[in-house]
Amino acid sequence: CLCAKYSGIVEDCCCDYETVDRLNEELLHPSLQELVKTAFFRYFKAKLWCDCPFWPDDGMCRLRDCSVCECPDSEFPESFKMPHSQEDPICQEGKPQAAVDRTIDSKSFRGWTEADNPWTYDDETDNSEMTYVNLQLNPERYTGYTGPSARRIWDAIYSENCPKYPSEELCHEEKILYKLISGLHSSISIHIAADYLLDEAINSWGQNLSLMYDRVLSYPDRVRNLYFTFLFVLRAVTKAADYLEYAEYDTGNPNEDLKTQSLMRQLLFNPKLQAACPVPFDEAKLWKGQRGPELKQQIQKQFRNISALMDCVGCEKCRLWGKLQVLGLGTALKILFSVDGQEHSAQNLQLQRNEVIALMNLLNRLSESVRFVHEMGPSVERIMEGQ
């Protein structure tokens, strides 16, 4: 039974599985679902084309379900304001899905820092090469990106940058890095399984439960790592609450911006969350001992490599979500851990706009995955293990 397998405190965290599921169901998931639809959080700025620093393009970018359409500027900005309009047949998959608005940068989102993040390779200062993508219209789901190209990325991530698979030889901090990546990998797999192309001939999409079982549920450590990553990112968000409460969410639409602020407050200062899981992860335990500073530099470098590897993902939509989620994790690391030996305080924390968008969208993706595992897991296990 799934509930027996996942009970007690989530390893290395301060909350138990039951509480996480309950809080997610009642509070986090509904608020995050609303939040990521707001104008501030639905546009992510990204450099989308293959620009791999490690090996040549392997030609996978042409996969149909992989593409994120960049429509000509003449089709914008009106189509953004009417996301359900039928007037944009050129866009990806025949829908006005992949709207990319190049004009929005100068109009909105002013007042944010452009400070670099030492944990990530990517940043939004590279303006000439970047475009905006409407995340709501480019969902993370099955794309057909598989085989050696996808395998090479995961192999490079695990073998070169999370040095060995978990073993007694790994120190605590190295295990944390591994668990974060593994938890993210579980979440990506769950989203693929939750929104899968079941029949290409009739373009039928739905859940692929056996894939979810084969890739995630049949490996309890992958499920545990998903919960761990969720709590880690949640801790970063709540730790940055004072900063995030007063950040600039102006998109030029006062009603929508008020809603964004109110949803953020609901998430950041919720009494139920504070009572049931006040410190989801205790970062103060890390980087202790003589090797601490050196270890932090080493892990920072490894994480930057992982971030750079996202430019090698040979499928545009996977690259978009890969970049966003790795940037989200890098932002959580930046919030939780000091930069260059300096401890952050709420007063001197500086986040880029794109980092905040990535952080909250990542939390939402993890929250969806945790909910999916909680709701579907027991019945999927029963079906698959009864076979």
| DSSP state for residue 131 in the 8-state scheme | E
154 touching ligand FAD, by CB under 6 A: yes
Nearest residue to ligand FAD, scored by beta-carbon proximity: 322
Residue of 142, 227, 287, 372 that binds ligand FAD (CB under 6 A): 142
Residue 11 CB, shortest distance to ligand FAD, in Å, is 14
Q: Which residues contact 364 (CB under 8 A, 6 or more apart)?
A: 32, 33, 35, 36
Residues in 164-183 at the binding interface with ligand FAD, rule: CB under 6 A = 182
For the residues of 147-173, what is the DSSP string, one character each?
THHHHHHHHIIIIIIS-SSS-TTS-HH
322 touching ligand FAD, by CB under 6 A: yes
Site string for ligand FAD, 218-257 (x = CB under 6 A): ----x-----------------------------------
User: Binding segment for ligand FAD among 13-21, 49-57, 148-156, 360-368 (CB under 6 A)?
Assistant: 148-156
Query: 145-152: long-range contacts at Cβ-Cβ below 8 A with a sequence spacing of 24 or more?
Result: 145/60, 145/63, 145/66, 145/313, 145/314, 145/315, 145/318, 148/58, 149/58, 149/60, 149/314, 149/315, 150/313, 150/314, 150/315, 150/318, 152/55, 152/312
Q: Which residues contact 159 (CB under 8 A, 6 or more apart)?
A: none
Residue of 80, 121, 145, 228 that binds ligand FAD (CB under 6 A): 145
The answer to whether 29 and 360 are in contact (CB under 8 A) is no
Residue 197 CB, shortest distance to ligand FAD, in Å, is 9
Q: Which is nearer to ligand FAD, 140 or 173 (CB)?
A: 140
Residue 338 CB, shortest distance to ligand FAD, in Å, is 27
Site string for ligand FAD, 14-33 (x = CB under 6 A): --------------------
State yes or no: cis peptide before 163, omega within 30 of 0. Answer: no
What are the tokens at 12?
Answer: 């290395």
Q: Which is nearer to ligand FAD, 322 or 328 (CB)?
A: 322
To 10 degrees, what angle do helices 220-239 and 254-268 make?
A: 110
Residue of 138, 186, 331, 354 that binds ligand FAD (CB under 6 A): 186
Cα separation, 230 vs 186, whole angstroms: 11
Binding site residues, ligand FAD, CB under 6 A: 140, 142-143, 145-146, 150-151, 153-154, 182, 185-186, 188-189, 192, 215, 222, 313, 317-318, 321-322
